Amino acid sequence: MKKISLLSFIVLTIMQCYGQQKQDDNKKILAIIDSYSKSVIEKDSITFYSLFNDDHVVWCAAYKDRTQAREIQAKGEAKAGSSYFSGSYKGFLRGLFRHKTTEDKFDTIKIVQDGTVASVTMDYSFWADNEMTNWGSKYLNLIKKEGKWKITSVIYSLELVKYFKQPERKTKKQAKNI
C-alpha cells in the first residue's frame, strides 16, 4: 500500500513540475512576442535582433489568393510578381524606417511547445503611419537554445487592406470554425 502511495506521490510531483515548467515557458514565449511588438513600434534593432536564432532564420510571406488575384488584375501578371516572397528579419526591421510609425498587432495567440521547440500561431495586423496596411495569420517557430527561446522562422499570410478589410474579431472567430 505504501509503494502505491509513494509512486502516486512521485508521479503527481513530476506532473506538477512539468506543468509549472510549461507555464513558465509559455510566459517566456509570450514575453518574446511582446518584445517583438514593442521593438517594431520603437524600431529597436538591438532588442528585435536578439529575439532571433543566430543561424539561418526563415522569413517568408504569401499573398492570400484573393489579394493575389486583385494584384494581378491591378498590375498585370508580370508586374504583380510572385504570390510569395522571402526576406530576413533584419530586412523587415530596416524597412520600418520608411514610416514615421509602425506597429504589428497580434491576437488569437496559440502556443504549442514541449520545452525544447515551440510553434506559435496568431492573427496579426500591420500598421504603418497609423493605418493598417495588411493583415493575416502569422506562424513563429522557436527553439530553446542554451536555456533561451529564439525565433527560427516567421511565416505569414498577407491580405492587403487596399483590397480587403480585416474582418471584425467576432467574424474572424466564426470564420475559423467553418
Residue 54, helix vs strand vs coil: coil
User: How do residues 63-97 score in pLDDT, each as one tens digit?
Assistant: 999 999 999 999 887 677 788 889 999 999 999 99
On the CB side of 12, CA atoms within 13 Å amount to: 6
| Model confidence pLDDT, tens digit, residues 6-64 | 555 555 555 555 567 788 999 999 999 999 999 999 999 999 999 999 989 999 999 99
The CATH number covering residue 153 comes to 3.10.450.50
User: What phi and psi values does residue 34 have, to the nearest 5 degrees?
Assistant: -65, -45
This prediction has a pTM of: 0.82
User: One-letter amino acid identity for 163?
Assistant: Y
For residue 108, give its domain range.
Answer: 2-176
Give me the pLDDT at residue 168, please.
82
Q: What nine digits make up the cell of 25?
A: 515557458
Distance CA(152)–CA(52), nearest Å, equals 6
Q: How far apart are the first and last CA of the chain?
A: 51
Domain count, the chain: 1
- Coil, helix or strand for 78? helix
